[in-house]
Structure 1
Amino acid sequence: MADAPEEDSRERLKAALWYAIGQIVDEESLRLNRNATPQFIGMLTMMVMGQIENVAIDLESFAQHAGRTTINTDDVMLLTRRNSDLQGMIKDFIDKQKADKGGGKGKGKAATSKR
């Protein structure tokens, strides 16, 4: 019975993922004038869920190997090492977040200094 709350959370996550993927597939189907079956959406959802689980396991392993219990951006960067485009996008996002956090009110100054 101890797994019931965890299983409930997992099922809610799957349902939310199914809904989100269904919305994306519907939008693309309309844009491309194609149809997608509910079975396709279900299998795509299961595939995405499997990828999410694999990423989570890898990130936990990287943090554990480094002697940490918390996953950090270094772990994410290590995970993306074989996909340079994804790694670049994530690095840009991280750099922007650090700049925004470090600047505080400096956002205006940064915008002014670029002119």
Structure 2
Amino acid sequence: MDRANIVIIGGGVVGCAIAAAVSKSTADVFVLEAMPKVGMGASTRNSGVIHSGLYYTAGSLKARHCVRGNQLTYEFCAAHSVPHRRTGKLVAAINKEEAQELPALLEKGRANGVEGLR
């Protein structure tokens, strides 16, 4: 292949996700990857955490994308039989100052639309 309408640089989790989405509307997609196989770069060193959007400024672009990305990730896993565990998150305070911040963190999460807070 010496020509393509869409060229994606990087075959990590993001590059492959973009390629999968774009390939639904055009078959002419090419992924360039420096490693011998896709997913061998930075994607192999991520923590595997699907972030909820709890800590971001209420209503910020980052918070909105994080919450929506969380929902889409679980939908994708279910639709494609990708094994995963939804373990939740325990937020704990280690001193009185942190304990005083917990109600505000809960409200921030609620304002961002984070599901399952209690």
Query: Fold-level match, TM-score > 0.5?
Result: no
Structure that is richer in strand per residue: 2
Q: TM-score range by the shorter chain?
A: under 0.3
Higher helix share: 1
Larger radius of gyration: 1
Q: Which has the higher contact order (CA 8 A, sep 6+)?
A: 2
